[in-house]
Every structure is written in structure tokens, then in C-alpha cells.
Structure 1
Amino acid sequence: MVLLSSKESQLLRTVNGKRRIREEIMARVNTLMSKGKVANVYFTDFIIQ
């Protein structure tokens, strides 16, 4: 949540922006995992205020 709250809403409105966020989430989570890796991140909903 901290990662997403630091992003501008315009970034989350574009396909490229969502791709960049997805990649950043995967990279951050993968650095925390000792075994295995996250293969993908799926967004079901976005609520932008």
C-alpha cells in the first residue's frame, strides 16, 4: 500500500503505468522471498481518489 500511495493517479490510469507498477511490486516482493519468485501480479480493481 505504501508503494501505491506514493504514486500519482495519472500513472495508474495508463496501461504503461499499470505495467510499471506491476513490475515494481514483483521486484519488491521477490527481494523479500527466500524461495520462489512471484510470476505475475494481477489487479482486480483500482480506486483512485
Structure 2
Amino acid sequence: MIHELAHRREMNHSPAFWSVVAEHDPDYEAHRAWLAEHGLRLVFSPDDY
């Protein structure tokens, strides 16, 4: 969610964008690494909404 909201200030993935992300999630690099490793295992169903 932070990633998407950061695009409201920076419309790209520049260093300035990642700085905005880091302001709100100082551990974003670890979170990105976790998602890269486990993201394909996440499954959502209509009941989740």
C-alpha cells in the first residue's frame, strides 16, 4: 500500500520515490525481499474482500 501511495508524490521508481517509501516504511528493503521470495504463494479469494 505504501508503494502505491508513494506514487502520488513520485510517479516513477526513482531514488526520490524510494525515499518517500522509506519515510513510511524504514524496513521496505526487507519487505520487498520477503515479497519477492513469498509473493507467488499469496492467494486471495473473493471471500477476502
TM-score tier (shorter):
0.3 to 0.5
Q: How high is the TM-score relative to the length of structure 1?
A: 0.33
Q: How high is the TM-score relative to the length of structure 2?
A: 0.33
